[in-house]
Amino acid sequence: MQSFLDPAILFFVFGILAGALKSNLEIPAPISRFLSLYLLMALGLKGGFALAQSGLTREVALSLGVALALAVLVPALGYVLLKRRIGGFDAAAIAATYGSVSAVSFITATQYLNNHDIAYGGHMAAAMALMESPAIIMAVLLANWVRKQQRQAGAPATQATDAPLGKILHESLTDGAQLLLLGAMAVGLLSGDAGQAALKPFSTDLFKGMLSFFLLDMGLAAARNMGGLRNQSPWLIVYALVFPLVHAGLALGMAAALSLSVGDTALLMVLAASASYIAVPAVIRHAIPEANPSLYLGMSLGLTFPFNILLGIPLYTWVAQQVMA
Domains and CATH numbers, the chain: 2-10+30-324 (1.20.1530.20)
Q: Is the pLDDT of residue 157 over 60?
A: no
What's the predicted TM-score (pTM) here? 0.85
pLDDT of residue 174: 66
- Give CA–CA dist 18/14, Å, rounded: 6
CB neighbours of residue 164 within 10 Å: 12
The pLDDT score that the predictor gives to residue 169 is 63
Q: Would you state the pLDDT for residue 199?
A: 92
CA–CA separation, 281 and 40 (whole Å):
19
69 and 131 Cβ atoms separated by less than 8 Å: no
For 288-298, the pLDDT digits (tens) are 888 888 888 88
Q: What's the CA gap between 132 and 178, in Å, rounded? A: 8
Opening angle at CA 181, ends 178 and 182, nearest 5: 90
pLDDT winner (highest mean) among 25-29, 69-73, 205-209: 69-73
- DSSP string covering 20-43: HTT------HHHHHHHHHHHHHHH
CA dist 200 → 45, 188, 195, 205 (Å):
10, 11, 8, 6
> Which strand (E) or helix (H) includes residue 176?
helix 176-200
> For residue 305, what pLDDT is reported?
94
- DSSP assigned state of 202: I
Across the range 247-255, mean pLDDT stands at 97
